[in-house]
Amino acid sequence: MVFLSSHLSAQQIEWPDGKKAALSLSFDDARLSNVDVGTPLFNQHDVKATFYVVPASMQSRLAAWQQAVKDGHEIGNHTLVHPCSGNFEWSRDKALETYNLTAMRRELLTANEEIKAMLGVEPVSFAYSCGQTFVGKGRETRSYVPLVAELFQSGRGWLDEASNDPIFADMAQLQGIEMDGKDFEKEIKPILEGAIKAGNWVVLAGHEIGEGGFQTTKVSMLEELIAYVQAENSEIWMAPVGTVAAHVEQQRTKQYQGLEESLSLAATFDQGTKADKAKGDAQLYTGVSYDERNQAKPGIATTDVAIVEGEGRFGDALAFKKKSKAVVYYPSKGNINYQANNWSGTISLWLSLDPEQDLEPGYTDPIQITDVGYNDAALWVDFSDKNPRSFRMGVYGDLAIWNPKNIAPDENPAFTERLLTAKERPFGTGVWTHIVITFEGLNSKEGEASFYINGKPQGKRSISEAFTWDLEQSKIFLGLNFVGLVDEVSIFDQPLSEREVKLLYQLPAGVKTLIDTAGH
């Protein structure tokens, strides 16, 4: 079977020059060997590195540091006095346990000013001293990651074990892997090979640069590494942390914009029931019942459904307090880009419930999109009727085609083969689970639908029969017979790729991330 691929699926995170992974070399503390040994070596090979400096340590080699800036190396902030836990005896009189956020803010800004005065540059990259991200002690302990996120483009850790996923990574907590004392072939090369497979960004971190000794990155290792990265068919892009971070952010923005363009409905319930973005009618309606759905009023017209503040995946959520006869929906027209020929799209929402505890007996569809019924040109997810509940995706074309004799679902193979039961079921009280259906080529005889939970594929189904809608009658029903929370209902007019579904799952501020990006 051949499927049309979406224009979006070509827009993955791309590294420059078709490379497969990124690498940054970084060195901390402004050690003398950084400019005595390091920068001459790097300049000889046209390699640019990141140096996270403590300003006072640059004094005795100031001219060399100024030259390093001229040569294109990046200077990052590594605090003013290098405070660490007082468990390091040398840090007892500048222990992070005695700091608060105000003191840390002052320290970081002062370090920036001193670096500016000495070298004429303003750092955008930061490395946590000793890799520690806290201030204070016990109940008064605070993370200063948010402060770093506010003041810098990125913050790097120390003695981390992983490379950075360019989609997932929190820029304020980049993982930094130690290269001091390491050999290239046995220790560093495998990390780079892993990153090439994953498309990731490796940030290596070291201190001294020399032949060997405590906290020393070996010149021989660097020479082998540079030869490997600069080999003709190398798959690695090597650049300073700030350069790679800017590239990653630009790629993320591009992807967000690509997703936003295809977003036809987004309801976050953070400003009431009206959809945040709607290519059709943004109004939510309440129908008297499923059968009398056209006797509807705008807004929520039942006490069984309400917006609950602050309990959403992000912001507020739509709560279904008990199994209700009333139905709530957005009209399909415009909000889902129905096509009589070759129809594709994506449906996304978040659910929070404990299915066995919260649901009342009977089938329940957190989302169901149809003009007639669940088995007649419909897309939905449901929980089965009894405990333990299974969670399923249903994509059913015209009833008259797939089930001409209208045989009951239980004894009908045509029903079961269109149904897809989730492999994973991570639901629970206080837990949010991300649900996605992507569909492609419906109404083309080669239709296909995929089911994802928390960004992970659960399987695919083929749907060859037609989907015939009376578009004016079609509705995006939410919470049919459902008890629990629904948030971030979003519909796209493109079938998102697996990578894009993962991106959607990881949006830092939910679907608002997309809308805000487009507004800029």
Nearest residue (beta carbon) to Zn ion:
28
Closer CB to Zn ion, 29 or 376, in the complex: 29
Beta carbon of residue 59, minimum distance to Zn ion (angstroms, whole number): 17
Question: In this structure, what token pair is assigned to residue 417?
Answer: 């083969």
Question: What ranges in 158-213 are assigned the alpha helix state H?
Answer: 189-198
Q: Report, in Å, the least distance between residue 130 CB and Zn ion.
A: 6
Nearest-approach distance from CB 511 to Zn ion, in angstroms: 39
Residue type, 428: G
User: Of 76 and 242, which CB lies nearer to Zn ion in the complex structure?
Assistant: 76
| DSSP string for residues in 335-378 | TB---SSSEEEEEEEEEE--HHHHPPSS-EEEEEEEEEETTEEE
Cβ proximity to Zn ion: between 12 and 110 the closer is: 110
**Shortest gap between Cβ of 76 and Zn ion (angstroms)?**
11
Q: What is the rounded CA–CA span in Å between residue 368 and residue 351?
A: 14
| Nearest approach, Cβ of residue 207 and Zn ion (Å) | 7
- The distance of closest approach from Cβ of residue 52 to Zn ion in the complex, given in angstroms and rounded to an integer, is 7
Instruction: Provide, rounded to whole angstroms, the least separation between the CB of residue 29 and Zn ion.
Output: 4
Q: Provide the minimum distance between the beta carbon of 84 and Zn ion in the complex, in angstroms, as a whole number.
A: 8
384: which strand partners?
A: none
CB-wise, 29 or 448, nearer to Zn ion?
29
- Closest contact distance (angstroms) between CB of 62 and Zn ion is 19
In whole angstroms, give the CA distance from residue 505 to residue 503. 5
Q: Which is nearer to Zn ion, 126 or 201 (CB)?
A: 126
Residue number, 180 or 440, with CB nearest to Zn ion: 180
Phi, psi torsion values for 310, nearest 5 degrees: 70, 5
Read off the tokens for 415. Answer: 């029903």
Kindly tell me which of 29 and 382 has the beta carbon lying closer to Zn ion.
Answer: 29
CA-closest candidate to residue 245, choices 159, 156, 158, 177: 156
Asked if 132 and 96 count as a contact pair (C-beta separation under 8 A), the reply is: yes
Cβ burial of 66 (10 Å; 0-12, 13-18, 19+) is: middle
Residue among 28 and 440 whose Cβ is closer to Zn ion: 28
Q: What is the DSSP code string of 238-277?
A: E--HHHHHHHHHHHHHHHHHHHHHTEEEEE-SBTBSS-SE
The CB-of-128 to Zn ion minimum distance in angstroms stands at 9
- The residues that touch Zn ion, with contacts defined as CB under 5 A, are 28-29
205 forms beta bridges with 26, 178
Q: Specify the residue, 28 or 208, whose C-beta has the smaller distance to Zn ion.
A: 28
Tell me whether residue 132 or residue 384 sits nearer to Zn ion (CB atom): 132
Q: Is the dihedral of CA 262, 265, 271, 274 positive or negative?
A: positive
Q: What is the DSSP string of 411-436?
A: G-HHHHTTEEE-S-----TT--EEEE
For residues 243 and 125, the answer to whether their CB atoms sit within 8 Å is no
CB atoms within 10 A of CB 190: 10
Helix, strand or coil, per DSSP, at residue 35: helix
